[in-house]
Structure 1
Amino acid sequence: MRALIVDDEARVRKAVRLLVDWQEHDIEEIEEAGSGREAIKVIKNFKPAIVIMDMMMSSGHGMELMAWVSEHAPSLKFIVISGHNDFEFVRSAVRHGGIDYILKPIEPEAINAAVAKAVGQWQSEERERREQQQKSIRLNEFRPVYGEKLLSSLIDDPGSAESAMRRLHAEGVIPETADQGRLLLVQIDSGDAALLQRFGNDSELLHFSLINICNEFLLPEGMGVAFKYWGAPMEIVILMWKQYDRAPELIARVNDGLFHTLQRRVHAGLGSVGQLPQSLPAQYAEADHAMRRRNLLQPDQYVHSAKSGPQDMGKGPVLSFSNVQEEWKTAIQSGDQGQIASAARHWIDALCRSGYVSSEMLQSWKSDILSFRLALLRETLGQDAGSPASELEQDDSGQTSPRTNSYAFSPSAWREWAELVMTRLAGEISRRRSRENRLIGEIITYIDHHYRSELSLQDIASHFYVSREYVSRKFKQEFGINFSDYLTNYRIDKAKVLMLNPDLKVQQIAEMVGFNDVKYFSKVFKKQEGMTPREYRNK
């Protein structure tokens, strides 16, 4: 706490300094002034809580100082010291809010009691001021939130729209005469990191600033109100109930204001004029549709209606993923980085040549690309596609892919993303194929070492920690036959080599290649070779 001593006599100021127990009263800083006029200057800069002042001074009467304090610093508490026992002075001090009136010579008990009284009153009023300030802050925080929720409910809660409208009328947010309105939807570019950084990465503060700028153009003319739409985190809704045809002009003025303050401009989707509040859900859908279909290749067009689209531009059919799917598939299966880069580049070039790229189109493309990736994995890896698909999806979550709702289309960002998707998919397929080829090689080696023994599909699956189905499927894929046929063919081929040795009997050969029954061996041999083992040996 701070105190100011005002007296034209230095000795009196010194006496006051010595007589008051400042520490007991929690007063840490003390300044002095030699006149009323000097005291006013000190008060403006020093901002004391308490002033101890003489009434009669040669330069600047104490009455003048009290009058100034009463008008310009009413929270300040002052104690009057005077050598004149004059009732008029006492009455003036009381009238101007003085705490006490002390006669010279000053008694320590009297001045400390007066200071204690002044400090207590100032602290009490300061607590009240702070409490009132906190109440005001909470109220000011509550009112916008309350208003935003009511305004948002007009769009996303038709069942309560009529009651919300009545409350908004009662609060004076929307005039009771407003029976029609037009909704404008502004979507903030959430990828504008530089803009967000200017607001300390506080999106709420960014919202607040943009809404204030919009309302600077709306509220003075009573045209409408801008508010944060609670149904979407990065959207501002402008509701106009007056001069609807000036909506494009309003957005132009808002953009001029934004550019002047933040060097940015915003895009807005327009709804059609309709009855309030029942038309607002449809208006919002219309404005949102307009924003999703706006042409990102024309970033300088800031106002969009639901009619915007490729048909209005006289263009041909919208480019579809099927136009490039085969080129992508070939590039991925080749595993060649040059082909992959070329496929990504051709896609972007075709998009730019089309003259029309929208957020809606990019979202569809992104969905088609991810579906294509899963389909190619399944086509290439069969039922084993689940694990690599999950791994690629996890990679997606760790990478920043281009956003479909950006304010402009970035060919380089989308080309890099497409190239990354294809490169990772090609790499995953190649790794899986290599791993499977190694596994098949290991299985064939195992068969070569154990074909003489009883060997089943389950034995192979258990040894290599895979499923029976997996082994069976891989033999079909690699050799065109199932495992049992492969093993039989392998044993017969080994038997044919052994038959070149005339010292070995057929029964011995059968047992050596894994057949315990020579008759069954002869039957299998004849089925495969078209002749019996003996006929084969004698030919």
Structure 2
Amino acid sequence: MYKLLIVDDEMFAVEGIEVGVDWLKLDFTEIHKAYNAAQAKKIMLGNRIDIIICDIEMPGENGIEFMEWVKERFPGIEAIFLTCHADFKYAQRAIQLGSFEYLLKPVEFEVLGKTVEKALGKLIIERKTKQLIDDNLQYFDLWKTKKPVLFERFWQDLFWQRIIPTTNHIESALASNLMPLSIHSKVLLIMLSIEQWGKKLNSRDEEIMEYALRNAAAEMILGELPGQVLQDRNGVHFVLLYADDSHKPTVTFEQIKKNSKSYIDACSKYLFCSISCYIGEWVSLHTVWQSYNILLQMEHNNVTLSKSILFSKEQPGTQQALQLPALFEWSELMELGKTDELDRLAINMFGQLRKESNVRSETLSTLYHALLQTIYYVLHKRSISVQAIFANGEALDQALAIRSLDQLQDWTKRIFRMVTEHLIAVERGSTVVDKVKYYIAEHIFDEISRDDLAVCVHINSSYLSRLFKKEAGVSLTDYIVQERMKHARDLLIHSDEMISNIAKSFHYTNFSHFSKMFRKYYGMNPQDYRKQFYKELPSKRN
């Protein structure tokens, strides 16, 4: 199955490693041995090696130098270094080369075996992920040029209420977008929340993997059922099931749950990601935007469950929740200081409530507490005391706020404006996105994940990705790459550091990939860029 290369100038050390670990149990069918770098290179050129165990201290070309040669030519290999000395410089260089582990001699064979097993697991995931990306690449490019633009535009506009939810407006939009639905159709939304990838992906590969996820959802959740899988403007993935109002839906919630469970398991096993499914209820086209917002809010509130299936109908207060605002969006707009957008949401929400026949005092009380909880959430996240804004407490008087629908609307507009203006005044220039950008700048030479950034600003990682893209106009992954390329450019023109070392300092073990990314931002490869601009520095000319 797999091939191992052991490199050490001590013959007894090589023989000991060969017999000290049950390699067949770990699926290694070939064990290659080398006693210096030259022998090891010859073996590498003639065999497809998977894992290398390499001593660092060897006469002539040492293990570090040998692995530099390996990484330039065989980037998809995992390496484990062995050394007699706990030398920090060795450890630092080993990390820069992307080695899986750095072990001190004499190493216990049990420890070595477990380390190799973990390295092999990482290698398998990376190779399968690459294969998935390669397999889906041509179809992904085709999808980008041929995707059903009209269908997606219809749903985007309906979700964001760009289509006014009245019969006439919806019927007109159905016709103009060639939708295979009628005004009487019912829709059920399933939100696919990507929680974590099994390995770090660049923005291009992540797009391709998300495309594979949508294909899998179409096959495993939709199957032969009428519907569609799409990605909204914020990058959130949805499965939409269609049903005609003339008869009951042809699929039960139990079957939907079963399909979703199979999908979650398959994503974990074959696509190497953790994913949860948030399942709404059958709704009309007039109210599908409410179901959309409820699922977003469910995801936002879920901080404990992973790889789960959650039904909106099982959430506390679901019947009333259909009339609640999209709190996810409200909290986001507060943090962005967009008072006009908040006013628009309030007008739409209260306008919809006025059309309802069953709005009672309990409804107003529930809505009051939901809005108040949203305010408390934002203030707590920003470490701002409630008393700092509402000193006398009168503004929060529930009895005054819920006497009527009109009074609650006035209260909502006034309170949210107060909080938003206070956030702007107190934290001018210190938004979530600013904090994320500062963290990236301070850790530009470190491995940075979306989860690291989410912990930094104390919010859900999926929410952070959408918030960052909405405010910064670029995805988190692309921004990190962009900043790294800026620093790489500075190093090219302000230092004599080897270009390969510059690439490695930003965790690019594949030099061609680094060169490709640099060319994307600066229009030429790193070598040509240094040739053109390095000599123009005044400090270099004097």
Q: Same fold (TM over 0.5)?
A: no
TM-score range, shorter chain: 0.3 to 0.5
Q: Which has the larger radius of gyration?
A: 1
What is the TM-score when the length of structure 2 is the normalising length?
Answer: 0.32
> Per chain length, whose mean CA-contact separation is higher, i.e. which structure has more relative contact order (CA < 8 Å, sep 6+)?
2
TM-score (normalizing by structure 1)? 0.32
